[in-house]
Copies of this chain bind each other. A is one copy, B any other.
């Protein structure tokens, strides 16, 4: 995931938001859940914040651990994937910023030279 896309669009994905909610309602710690699923705590944290995408198997295991509907989580996870590739294409803003950045750099070079 490019940084620019990450920063312009949204933080927590549908999936991450939901599993964090489920976990917290059960009073389970992130690191406990991570340990129980044999997933690194850092990765688990990133899943919940939508910074990384789990794979199909991980989604299923997470659903089983949280005793929740597997299909609900798979659907949210798939929605995230679609949402991501679509938002990647709303890159006009990114392109504009790139141009500005290039121009600024040229400006500074001109002045200091």
Interface of A toward B, CB cutoff 8 Å: 56, 74, 78, 81-82, 85-86, 89, 91
Copies of this chain, complex-wide, total 2
Residues of B within 8 A of A85 (CB): 78, 81-82, 85
> Within 8 Å CB of A89, what residues of B?
56, 74, 78
Query: Could you tell me the distance between the alpha carbons of A98 and B56 in the complex, rounded to whole angstroms?
Result: 16
Please give, as numbers and ranges, the residues of chain B lying within 8 Å of A56 by CB-CB distance.
89, 91
Task: Give the Cβ gap from A1 to chain B, nearest Cβ, in Å.
Answer: 14
For A78, the chain B residues whose CB sits under 8 A away are: 85-86, 89
A74 CA to B74 CA, complexed, in Å: 28
CB distance from A31 to the nearest CB of B (A): 30
